[in-house]
Amino acid sequence: MATEIKVWEVINEGLREIEGDDLASEHLEKDLETWITNNPSLLGGRLLPIKRQHDVPQVGIVDLICIDENGKLVVVEFKRSLTSREAVAQALDYASWLDTTSEAEIRSLAQEGLGKPIEDAFLGCFGSELQSLAPQDHRILLVAPRLDSSAERIINYLADR
């Protein structure tokens, strides 16, 4: 089942619905990444972005890695137009990398991305102490304006299981 999301633009204290099914004509994927990093609640939950554009050798560049208020890591992949099954495979590849990553690697990339220990940033963001950090405890968010039918079918299958 598809989710419908409307996008609005603020113009002179008024709202205008943005028509069309992709952001590609007006914005770059990098713009979307910046908006989300600056206001991660746009993703529908409380998240702390810990690293942008993380290059994983022989895998690719992960758009954004976050941690949620429960200490679960979140791999976020951005697409600015119709998202295909290849984008789902890309996100799964990033998740498979995360599954083999050590806690020390996550702490190091968070230090690099945040400029301070992850525990300090977590406490500042969520007001509680980080209880545990397990890279194998993660989820995937694919941020896109539309999914093609095969991508939607794969995502629904994975979500049900």
Q: Is 98 exposed, middle or buried (0-12, 13-18, 19+ CB in 10 A)?
A: buried
- Contact between residue 124 and residue 69 where contact means Cβ atoms under 8 Å apart: no
- Three-state DSSP class for residue 118: helix
Q: What is the pTM (predicted TM-score) of this model?
A: 0.78
- Contact between residue 121 and residue 49 where contact means Cβ atoms under 8 Å apart: no
150: β partners? none
Question: Two tokens at 93?
Answer: 């590849």
pLDDT in tens, the chain (161 residues): 444 555 556 677 666 666 655 444 555 667 777 877 777 787 778 999 999 999 998 889 999 999 999 999 999 998 877 788 898 999 999 999 999 999 999 999 999 999 999 999 999 999 999 998 999 999 998 888 788 899 889 988 988 88
